[in-house]
Chain A
């Protein structure tokens, strides 16, 4: 068996691959932003025992954490296109769908990994010692101020290791974008395979590209963790 990578030198394929990598990274970054917003908001509502919102948050978490992200993506995609909300394109004046495949992927990533992030951040918050919280309360901090200035900053730091795997999971899950016709890296790969039939070589390359993206993400998180490390605290 010989591997043929000559297609890699075709400028058209290079463009597809680069655009695809860019799209995958953008999807992942936007998904992560949504994931953090959902994760922090959900964990805060559960931790602060906000009445009437605890059960909806719990149901949301169970619903999205325990079902396949692919099913969620298709459901979002079909449901939202069914509703058929449209925007007026400011340039052309034409009608474009509000929920494009791209939007649906970002939403789906944010919801699926966000549901997991709720649980991760909540465990981090629970790991904040009760004594530290009591110290804040004794100084007049309200429940909300204690959360914002003491529990959340410490809890988020504690949640970094499990959150790293969640971020990697989000990047991997973004490869579903191809299934709703978003031109991510998998989409580029599929197109190249259709034209060159070098399936094995293309997949090998894609495998390596995901490995590189995920490794960079892990390195960045490690940098952030080091910058926010609490000297002399924990192990």
Chain B
């Protein structure tokens, strides 16, 4: 069940080829390849420590890679070294984190407007208008003058999603965005992501919410110890897993 047009013939929006990454003696990624088409929704699942967050951080250049290539739209990410060179990439690739990573000293509205104004140099009045519309979209109208510390976890995470959207990105990377939330707040965040996916936003989600992955993803990638062990449409991957590691993982989490 998917709501996306399938344009398999056009070049993918994100293409990762044979990416390797080590932290000192610890090898975290050992040849990861995956691609995401424009408008696609991809989920990455796998045990803790298998390199899921690292893959996301490499896609937007928060981490450099040792070997391989990462292409996002027109950008060859591994060639972008300076902060300045990374700005256009980060304009297109936004990220939402497990711990929200909001700016605690700024109001909700300022959290949304800061980067478009300070980084992208956009007109403050126009950004403000867009930000208010985004707050309405994530159902937080009226909270614009609150500080992040005054909101619940679910509300903060919706602010973080709105902050990502305020950059008008082509892709949003979600890193276990519901993992720190109390159970009753998970669905309010997942609803927002579901809406985005339906509207055609390209999403890469690292998640432990298997039912949600099954519902929204076009393709699911299973990582274990720095490699992608198996990938495919959610139906196949969840119902007919072939790799024993994936079988064991699914038995544990489902």
Contacts and interface: CB of A to CB of B under 8 A. Distances in A.
Contacts of A142: 83-84, 87
A137 B104 CA distance: 15
Contact of A145 (B119, B150, B167): B119
Contact of A154 (B90, B104, B146, B163): B104
Interface string B182-217: 000000000000000000000000000000000000
Interface in B137-176: 146-151, 160, 163, 167
A137 B95 CA distance: 10
Nearest to B84: A142
Contacts of B101: 131-132, 134-135, 138
Interface residues of A, number: 23
Contacts of B99: 129, 131
Interface stretch (A7-15, A66-74, A199-207, A225-233): A225-233
Contacts, number: 79
Interface string B36-70: 00000000000000000000000010100000000
Contacts of A137: 62
Given A134-B62, A230-B105, A233-B104, A149 B147 contact: no
A157 B103 CA distance: 14
Contact of A230 (B60, B62, B91, B104): B104
Contacts of A132: 101-104
A141 B62 contact: no
Nearest to A157: B105
Sort chain B's interface into a size bin: 20 to 34
B222 interface: no
B8 interface: no
Contacts of B91: 140
Interface in B75-128: 83-84, 86-87, 90-91, 94-95, 97, 99-105, 114-115, 118-120
Interface of B: 60, 62, 83-84, 86-87, 90-91, 94-95, 97, 99-105, 114-115, 118-120, 146-151, 160, 163, 167
Given A230-B149, A231-B149, 8 more contacts: A132-B104, A134-B97, A136-B115, A138-B90, A139-B90, A140-B87, A140-B120, A142-B84
